[in-house]
Copies of this chain bind each other. A is one copy, B any other.
Amino acid sequence: MRMDERKQKVLAAIVQDYIIGGEPVGSRSIARRYNLGVSPATIRNEMADLEEMGLLEQPHTSAGRIPSDYGYRYYVDCLMAPEELTAAEKEYIQRRYKQKMHEFEQMLEETARLISEMTAYTAVALGPNQKKAYLEQVQILPVQLSGKALLIAVTSTGLVEHRLFTIPDNTTEEDLQRLSKYLNDSLQGKVVEDIHRSILQDLYQEVIDQRELCNQVLEILRQVLALEGSKKIYLEGAFNILSQPEFKDLERVKKLLAFLEKEDALRRVFASTPEKGLSIRIGQENKHEGIDRCTVVTIDYNVEGKVAGKLGLLGPTRMQYSRVISVMNCIADCLSRSLQQFYR
The smallest beta-carbon distance between A157 and chain B, in angstroms, is: 11
Tell me if A102 and B158 are in contact (CB < 8 A): no
A154 within 8 A of B: yes
Which residues of B have CB within 8 Å of A150? Answer: 137, 152, 154, 160
Give Cα distance in the complex from A164 to B150, angstroms: 16
- Interface size, chain A (Cβ < 8 Å): 41
A136 within 8 A of B: yes
Which residues of B have CB within 8 Å of A254? Answer: 239, 242-243
The smallest beta-carbon distance between A139 and chain B, in angstroms, is: 6
Interface string of A238-282 (1 = CB under 8 A from B): 010011000010100110011011000000000000000000000
A162 within 8 A of B: yes
The smallest beta-carbon distance between A216 and chain B, in angstroms, is: 11
Which residues of B have CB within 8 Å of A261? Answer: 239
Tell me if A163 and B242 are in contact (CB < 8 A): no
Known: A137-B141, A141-B152, A145-B189. A220 touches B162 (CB 8 A): no
A344 within 8 A of B: yes
Give Cα distance in the complex from A100 to B224, angstroms: 13
Chain B minimum-CB-distance residue to A220: B102
Could you show 15 A-B contacts with beta carbons less than 8 Å apart? A102-B165, A102-B220, A102-B223, A103-B163, A104-B164, A137-B144, A141-B141, A143-B154, A144-B188, A145-B156, A160-B162, A160-B164, A239-B258, A242-B250, A250-B250
Give Cα distance in the complex from A199 to B104, angstroms: 29
Which residues of B have CB within 8 Å of A156? Answer: 145-146
Selected contact of A344 from candidates B160, B166, B258, CB within 8 Å = B166
Which residues of B have CB within 8 Å of A144? Answer: 136-137, 188
Give residues of chain A (183-230) contacting chain B, Cβ–Cβ below 8 Å: 188-189, 220, 223
Tell me if B141 and A145 are in contact (CB < 8 A): no
Chain B minimum-CB-distance residue to A136: B145
Which residues of B have CB within 8 Å of A239? Answer: 254, 257-258, 260-261
- In order of increasing CB-CB distance, the 3 nearest A-B pairs are A239-B257, A136-B145, A137-B143
Give Cα distance in the complex from A260 to B239, angstroms: 10
Give Cα distance in the complex from A158 to B343, angstroms: 29
Which residues of B have CB within 8 Å of A145? Answer: 136-137, 156, 188-189
Which residues of B have CB within 8 Å of A188? Answer: 144-145
Selected contact of A257 from candidates B141, B164, B242, B343, CB within 8 Å = B242
Give Cα distance in the complex from A188 to B143, angstroms: 10
Give Cα distance in the complex from A147 to B343, angstroms: 10
Give residues of chain A (97-130) contacting chain B, Cβ–Cβ below 8 Å: 100, 102-104
Which residues of B have CB within 8 Å of A253? Answer: 242
The smallest beta-carbon distance between A239 and chain B, in angstroms, is: 4
The smallest beta-carbon distance between A164 and chain B, in angstroms, is: 6
